[in-house]
Amino acid sequence: MFGNNQVLGRGGHGTVYKGVLEDGRIVAIKKPTFLNETSKNEFGKEMFILSQINHKNIVKLLGCCLEVEVPILVYEFVPNGTLFHFVHENKNTYPISLGARLKIACESADALAYLHSSASPPIIHGDVKSSNILLDENYMAKVSDFGASKLVPKDGKQFATLVQGTYGYLDPEYLQTCQLTGKSDVYSFGVVLLELLTGKKADYFNGSEERSLAASFILSMKENRLLDVLDNQVKNEGDMELIQEISELARQCLDVKGEERPTMKEVAEELDKLRKVMQHPWVPHNAEEVESLLGESSNDHGIDYHGTETTTCYNSKNRLASNRESGR
């Protein structure tokens, strides 16, 4: 049953296999990489976290078996693999439109915002990366792998922890302080957003030199060379003003100071607004006209267009600053 030909993926905490239940349903089965007390505790924690949450963009836990020598977790099967595979290994076969990239970013951000702001207690994912975002039959994003996740203490205090995560996605502040916060997820999500914009991996080779995608991107923004790092499909298809707004949001997520980064809720709301702009290019750029035309639909996710200090409806830098000043 657990043969190498059934492996769907491998991670630091376990290996995921494809399986079939007695009723014929295809499922994903996760087994620990190492058989010890720590791995059993990690699986128990992941089971507890996933049993507390219900969101369409988070992979569903169907069952578990913990009181055995080899614990297993059983998840829904998500057929189109990981976002990592979709972006980095399929891009030459199936060009990915900017709209598809923005949709996946919106859905992933919405899931993380739910974990941070709506789950009780709040949950920090702790290992946000493109290989932990799955795509279903309709290419809807589903955040997965909660092996490194932490429940936020009731008093909301930061807590020190052994650094876990993946090179290229790790929050530099978390690396320095060993304190995992919601802003650590924001940084990691910023790297995922860069993968979607550039088609490059979180750490990649330029000739024989290994480079950090985040560092390369920030430098290109400072030197006004954004076009040099964008994926060709994005450049050829996209509205550059919209792309610059998405890029600016990614840059904010990657700020070295966690307190300067937006919250995941702010990121999700901003991406939702940008996606609306892309879907409705006929919408005027004046914020008040946007609100009157979109009406209640602009508040589907609690989004508020008031307080923008710009003539366009998608200036993320000014809008996020305005939201923070007003206490949002």
Condensed to tens digits (0 to 9), the pLDDT of residues 25-81 reads: 999 999 987 777 777 778 888 899 998 899 999 999 999 887 777 889 999 999 999
Q: How far apart are alpha carbons 124 and 310 in whole angstroms? A: 33
Domain count across the chain? 2
Are 286 and 163 in a shared domain? yes
Task: Tell me: do 120 and 221 sit in the same domain.
Answer: yes
- What pLDDT is recorded for position 81? 94
pLDDT number for residue 307: 35
Same domain, 114 and 259: yes
Q: Was 31 annotated as part of a binding site?
A: yes
Compute the average pLDDT of residues 233-256.
93
pLDDT of residue 95: 86
Q: Look at residue 126 in the predicted model and tell me its pLDDT.
A: 94
Q: Which one, of 193, 169, 210, 3, lies nearest residue 101 by Cα?
A: 193
Same domain, 160 and 279: yes
Q: Which residues contact 40 (CB under 8 A, 6 or more apart)?
A: 32, 66, 71
Residues 83 and 104 sit within 8 Å (Cβ to Cβ): yes
Q: What is the CATH number of the domain that holds 235?
A: 1.10.510.10
Distance (Å, whole) CA 26 – CA 192: 28
Of 76, 103, 138, the domain-final residue: 76
Say yes or no: 59 and 122 in one domain. Answer: no
Same domain, 39 and 94: no
Q: What is the CATH number of the domain that holds 72?
A: 3.30.200.20
Question: What pLDDT shows up at residue 4?
Answer: 77
Across the strands, what pairs with 141? 135
> Where is the domain boundary, 16, 42, 76?
76
Together in a domain, 142 and 239: yes
User: In this predicted model, what pLDDT tens digit does every residue of 3-19 receive, in sequence order?
Assistant: 778 889 887 778 899 99
pLDDT tens for 87-121 read 998 766 778 999 999 999 999 999 999 999 999 99
Q: What is the 3-state secondary structure (H, E, C) of the chain?
A: CCCHHHEEEECCCEEEEEEECCCCCEEEEEEECCCCHHHHHHHHHHHHHHHHCCCCCECCEEEEECCCCCCEEEEECCCCCEHHHHHHCCCCCCCCCHHHHHHHHHHHHHHHHHHHHCCCCCEECCCCCHHHEEECCCCCEEECCCCCCEECCCCCCCEECCCCCCCCCCCHHHHHHCEECHHHHHHHHHHHHHHHHHCCCCEEEECCEEEEHHHHHHHHHHCCCHHHHCCHHHHHHCCHHHHHHHHHHHHHHCCCCHHHCCCHHHHHHHHHHHHHHHHCCCCCCCHHHHHHHHHHHHHCCCCCCCCCCCCCCCCHHHHHHHHHHCCC
Q: Are residues 203 and 120 in the same domain?
A: yes
Contact between 180 and 88 under an 8 Å Cβ cutoff? The reply is no
Task: Give the domain extent around 41.
Answer: 4-76
Position with higher pLDDT, 95 vs 85:
85
Residue type, 92: N
**Do 60 and 95 reside in the same domain of the chain?**
no
Q: Which residues pair with 15 in a beta bridge?
A: 10, 31
CA-closest candidate to residue 216, choices 203, 232, 197, 231: 203
Q: Give the separation between CA 186 and CA 71, rounded to whole angstroms.
A: 31
Task: Judge contact between 85 and 9, C-beta under 8 A.
Answer: no
pLDDT at 317: 65
Residue 316 has pLDDT above 70, yes or no: no
Torsion of CA 262, 193, 7, 90, to 10 degrees: 170
Q: Are residues 140 and 190 located together in one domain of the fold?
A: yes
- What pLDDT is recorded for position 306? 36
pLDDT over 80 (residue 190): yes
Residue from 127, 171, 231, 272 carrying the catalytic annotation: 127
Percent of the chain surpassing pLDDT 70? 81
Do both 57 and 96 map to the same domain? no
Confidence of residue 297 (pLDDT cuts 50, 70, 90): very low
- Single residue among 38, 61, 76 that ends a domain in this structure: 76
Residue 300 designated active-site? no
Question: Do 50 and 167 sit in the same domain of this protein?
Answer: no
